[in-house]
Structure 1
Amino acid sequence: MEVTRALKLSVFAHGVSMIRLHPQLCARLSVGEGERAECTFGRLSAQAPVWADPALPADTVAVSTPLADRLLLRDVAARVRVWPSGRKFHIGPTVGVLSNPRWIEKQKRYAPSPLALALERLADAADRIGALAYVFRMRDVDWEGQRVHAFVRTTRGAWTRMWLPLPDVVYDQVVSRRLEQDANYQRDRARLARLYQDKMFNAGFFDKWQVYEWLAQDVRLRRHIPSTIRYQQADRAARFLAKHSVVFAKPAHGSLGLGIVRFVRQPDGTWICEVKRKQKPPWRVQADHALAAIQQLRPRLEARPYILQQGIDLARTGDRPFDIRIVLQRDGTGAWRRTKMFARIAGPGEFTSNLSSGGQALPVPVLLSTVFPASAVRSRCMRQIRRVARLVAEAMERGAGQTFGELGIDIGIDTTGKAWVIEVNSKPWKSPSTGKGRPELVEMAFRRPMEYAVYLATRQ
C-alpha cells in the first residue's frame, strides 16, 4: 500500500504561526488567503492563517516553525505527509506501537532481544508505506498534554527519544503477561482503549475460557471445539476426567504452553499426570483414580484460573503430535488475509508443539503427505483448516465486540483428518528473521499490521 493522495510537508522559519500553499492548491481546496485552517498531527491540533506562495511547489504544504513546534512536528516533518480536507490538514499517518522493551538509557538503545528486532521491523515497514510508527510504553503517556515520550527509529537505523503527539492509531504489542496483570497498567490501558475505540487493535491477551465461550456461540464451530470446562471444584474436575481418556488443564492466561498439565488414563484405570515446564522435561506423577489425579495437582489448579479441555486423538508423525499454526492478519483494505500457515511438531518427549520448547516447523502440505497418504483426505483436511480459521476470526470478533488486526490460530488434526480448534492467540509471535522459511512472508507479517493501521488512520 502506498500513500499516494497526500501532499508533501515542509517547515520554514518564521516568527508567527502560519501555513503557506501554492495559489493553485488554495483554489483546489477552496481556501482563501488569510482564512484560518486547522492542522492536526496525531491527537494534537492548532489553527493558523493560510497565505498563498507562488514559489512553493503545488504539491506541498509549508508550516512555520512556531506551528510545527506546537504540534511537536519539527523533527519528523520530512517523514510524514499531509492529508487535506477543505480547511483541515491532517499530518501523518502516525502509528503508535504500545510495547514494553527494555531501554538502556546510558547507551540510548534497546537491550538486544527478539522483541527489539521485531519493533525495528515494524518501524521500517511503516516507513516504507509512508507512515510514521513510534514505540511507546504506557508510562510514557502524558495524558494532559496528549503526547507520548516516544522511541523513534531514525533514518540511520538507530533509536532516539522525543516527544510526539498521541498517534492516530495504537497497535498493542505488549508481550508481558506480568505487566498485563498490573492494576495500574490495566487502568491506563482501559483509558487508552476508551480514547481510541476502534482505532486501537489487539489490546490485551485472551482469556482461554472466554475464547471458548465466544467460539461455542457459533453453531458452525461447535463440532470443531474440544469439550471444555472451567476448573472450579475438584469433584467436578474429576467427573470431567472420568469422561475422557486424555484431558489438558491449561492456565486461562498462560502462553508458550507453560503450566499445562496433561492427564492420561492408563489401561488399568490409573492416571499419569504431566506438567509442562520451561526448558525441562515434563514433571510426572501417578494417581490411582481421577479424583486422586486432581488432588495431586490441586494446589497448582487453584493458584490461578485454569480450564480443563478434552484431549484430542491427534494425528502423529514419528509418534510426535503436531498442530497447525495459522496467522491471519488484516491488510490495507481491512480484509482478512492468511499470512502464514505451518505445521508445528512437538519436540521429543513433549506433549505441546511450541517452537520455543523444541518444536519443529514444517510446511503443512509436506507434513500432511506423510500422515495421510490419500490425496482426497489431504484435500479435505486443507479445506477444513482454511474454513475453520475463517470461522474462528468471525466468531472471535463477534464475541468480543471488537475488530482485531491479527490472530494466531492453532488447529489440531485428529487421526481421521478432522480439524479441532486448540487455541487462539491475540498476539501471535512474528519472528523478525527466518531460517528455512520464506523471507517475503517474514516481511509481510510486519507490513500488514502497519498497512491495516494506516487504513484505520485514513478512513473516514
Structure 2
Amino acid sequence: MKKLYPIEIITDSENTVYLPTDFEANPPLKRLAFGALSKDATIKKHPKPRNTVGISSDLFKDLLFPSSTSTVHLFIEEETLYAGPLVGIFTSGFSTIKVRPIGDRSILFSKLLSVQKTVGVIAFLFGEQHINWETGTINGLFYEDGWKSVKVPFPNVVYDRIPNRRIENLNKIQAVKKRLQKEYSIPWYNPGFFNKLDIYERLLQDDGISDYLPETHALTNFSVIERMLSNFGNVYIKPKNGSLGKGIYQLLYDKKDGYYYTRFKDIDQGNRLMKFDHLEALINHLFENQNLSHYIVQQGIHLIRSEKKSVDFRVHTNKNKDGHWEMTAIAAKIAGAGSVTTHLNNGGTVKTIEELEDTDLTSEEMINKLTKASLQISKALEKQMEGFIGEIGFDLGLDRKGRVWLFEANAKPGRSIFKHPSLRKFDLETRRKSLEYAVYLMEQNIHSLEDIYQ
C-alpha cells in the first residue's frame, strides 16, 4: 500500500535523508531524486522511531523542493530514493494578472491545486512559456493562499489540461508534449480530445461494450437518415468534435402525418421546433453552406422520464493511485422545455439520482446499472486509445426498459454538474482522484525505465 509521509527539514546535517521508521528499504540507497533532479546523499533510518522523512535543508534547496512541500510518497529503484510525485499541470491561456494568472479558469485550477497535500502530490501549473530547456527547470505556478511562481525541476508526471482542440493542435504545444515525453520519458496523461465517431468505431470492436452503443454513422447522405428515422422514429445529428451540446439537432418523423420535425437551439431565438414536408428540405435548411462530413447521425433513444421530461446522466470515472478505475461522480440531467439536449445552457437542470420523481427504476437500480456500464466502458476505452487516460466524463442514458446507452465520452469532462449543492462531495472526490493517478504513473515509470534521472 502506498503511504504518505510528512517531510521534516533537518538543519543539523548536510546532504542527508532520514527514512521513516516503517519504510522498508533493504538495498543501500545512495541518491535522492525529486522530479528530474537527483543528487548523491547519505540515506539512513531515523536514529529514533519516527515516521517522517527527514531531508537536510541543503539537499531540500539543491533539489528545488518548493518551500510549501509538506508530504511525499517514497519509492525505491536500484540505489535511488524517489520523493514525489511532482506533477506539472500543462495548460494555456496565461495572463499577466497575478491574482488571476489563468484568466477565468484561475478559480478552477486553484480548487484543483488545493487538494494536493491530502493526495500526497506536489502540483503546479505551467505552459510552454514557463519552461527553461537549458536548465531543465520550470517556473511553475503554485497556489497556497494566493498564486506564486516557483522554480522546480521537470516533473515526474504531466497532467494535460489544454482547453480546446485548436490550441492542442498548435505546433508549439505539440513540440512541448513530444519533447517531454520522448527526451525526458515523462508520462503524460489525459492527452487529446475524443472524436465521437472514432470512439464509437473503436468501442464497436469490443463485444462486451457494443450493446451500450446506439447506432451511429458518419453523415454522408440523406438515405442514412431516412433509414434510421424509419427504424427508430427519431435521430440526433451531432458535430463529430462538438462539446457543451452545441450544434445538436434532433430529427423526428411522424408516420401519421408524414411530416419531418427538427428540434434545435437557435442562437437568437432559443429552443425551436420546425416542421418540413420533405427530409431534403429540412437538411438543406439546417446545413446550408456547411460540410456534412463534420457531423454524425445517431439513433434516438426513448429515455426514462422524470416530471414528464427526458433524463440522461453524467457519470465521471477516474483512475486511482493503484491504477484502478473508480466511479467518482454521478448526476441526473433533466431536459428543459422544448430542448434537444439536457445541457444546462439549453435550459436543463441537474439533480441527484435520489431526487428524480416518477421513474420506472429505483435510484439504487439506476446507480448500479450506470456504475457497472461506466467502469466497463472506461476499461474498454483504455485498451483502445493511445496514451494514459486518467479520467472520463460519460453522457449515459437509460431507456424505459432499463437498458444503458452511451451517448458521449469526454476526455476533458466539464464540471457544471458540481454547482448542485448535493453534488459538491463529488467535486472534491474527482479533483482528488485526477491528481492521485499521478502517484501510480510515477511508480510505474521509475520501475520500468532505468536511468531516467541523470
Show the counterpart of 1:419.
404
Aligned to 1:440: 425
Which residue identity does 1:180 align to in structure 2? E
Determine the C-alpha separation between the residues in 1 that align with 2:200 and 2:441: 28
Q: State the AA in 1 paired with 2:122.
A: L
Partner secondary structure for residue 350 of structure 2: strand
- Superposed CA deviations along residues 315-367 of structure 1, whole A, max 9, x for unmatched, are 22334211011111122222222111121001222121113433211222442
Counterpart-to-counterpart distance in 1, 2:18 and 2:240: 59
How many residues align structurally? 441
Is residue 44 of structure 1 aligned with residue 37 of structure 2?
Answer: yes
Alpha-carbon distance, 1:98 to partner: 1.9
Counterpart of 1:110 (choices 101, 104, 111) is 101
Structure 1 position 386, deviation (Å): 2.9
Matched, 1:273 2:258: no
CA distance in structure 2 between the aligned counterparts of 1:275 and 1:194, rounded to whole angstroms: 45
- The whole-number CA distance in structure 1 between the counterparts of 2:18 and 2:376 is 51
| Cross-structure match for 1:137 | 127
8 Å Cα contact 1:238-1:294 kept in structure 2: no
Query: Match for 1:307: what amino acid?
Result: I
Is 2:170 aligned against 1:171?
no
Equivalent AA in structure 2 for residue 451 of structure 1: E
The answer to whether structure 1 residue 321 and structure 2 residue 310 are counterparts is yes
Letter in 2 for 1:162: V
Residue in structure 1 matched with residue 385 of structure 2 by the alignment:
400
Instruction: Give 1:278 shift.
Output: 5.7
Q: 1:311 aligns with which of 290, 297, 300?
A: 300
In 2: Cα distance, 1:22 partner to 1:384 partner: 49
Shift in alpha-carbon separation, 1:282–1:84, aligned structure 2, 3 A:
same
Deviation at 1:282, TM superposition (A): 3.1
Closer, same or farther in 2 for the Cα pair 1:327/1:235, shift >3 Å? same
Displacement, 1:303? 6.8
CA shift in 2, pair 1:263/1:86, >3 Å: closer
Q: How does 1:60-71 map to 2 (within 5 A)?
A: 60-63=53-56, 65=58, 71=63
Alpha-carbon contact 1:11-1:77 (below 8 Å) kept = no
Is the Cα contact below 8 Å between 2:188 and 2:388 reproduced in 1?
no
Distance 2:98 2:304 in 1: 50
Maintained 8 Å contact 1:118/1:432: no
- The structural deviation recorded for 1:275 is 3.3
> Does structure 2 conserve the Cα–Cα contact (< 8 Å) formed by 1:22 and 1:57?
no
- Find out whether 1:230 has 2:226 as its counterpart: no
1:256: which partner in 2?
A: 244
TM-score by length of 1: 0.82
Q: Describe how 1:8-407 pairs up with structure 2 within 5 A.
A: 8=7, 10=9, 19-21=15-17, 37-45=30-38, 47-48=39-40, 50=42, 60-63=53-56, 65=58, 71-73=63-65, 75-76=67-68, 80=72, 83=75, 87-100=79-92, 102-103=94-95, 105-110=96-101, 113=104, 115-154=105-144, 157-194=145-182, 199-233=187-221, 236-237=224-225, 239-241=227-229, 243-266=231-254, 267-277=256-266, 281-282=270-271, 285-299=274-288, 301-302=290-291, 305-367=294-356, 370-372=358-360, 382-407=367-392
Deviation (angstroms), 1:243: 4.5
Q: Which amino acid aligns with 2:330?
A: M
CA distance in 2, matches of 1:195, 1:430: 34
Q: Deviations over 1:50-79 (max 9, x none)?
A: 4999999975554564x6565333645656
Question: For the structure 1 residues 279 and 199, does the alpha-carbon distance in structure 2 shift closer, same or farther, using more than 3 Å as the test?
Answer: farther
Against the structure 1 CA distance between its residues 246 and 110, is the aligned structure 2 distance closer, same or farther, given a 3 Å change threshold? same
What are the superposed Cα offsets for residues 115-170 of structure 1, whole Å, 9 maximum, x if unpaired? 3222122212112233211111244334454332211113xx11111222221112
- Return the alpha-carbon distance in structure 1 between the equivalents of residues 20 and 358 of structure 2: 66
C-alpha displacement of 1:404:
2.1
3-state SS of 1:415 partner: coil
TM-score by length of 2: 0.83
Task: Return the offset for 1:28.
Answer: 6.8
Q: CA deviation at 1:307?
A: 1.0
Matches of 1:433 and 1:391 in 2, distance apart? 24
Distance 2:264 2:177 in 1: 33
**1:103-122 C-alpha deviation (Å, 9 max, x unpaired):** 3x244533663x32221222
The runs of 5 or more residues in structure 1 that have no matched partner are: none
Percent of aligned pairs with the same amino acid = 25
Quote how far apart the aligned CAs of 1:185 are.
2.6
CA RMSD of aligned residues (A): 3.7
Distance in 2 of aligned mates of 1:53 and 1:379: 50
> Contact (CA 8 Å) 1:279, 1:357: kept in 2 or not?
no
Cα pair distance change 1:125/1:295, threshold 3 Å: same
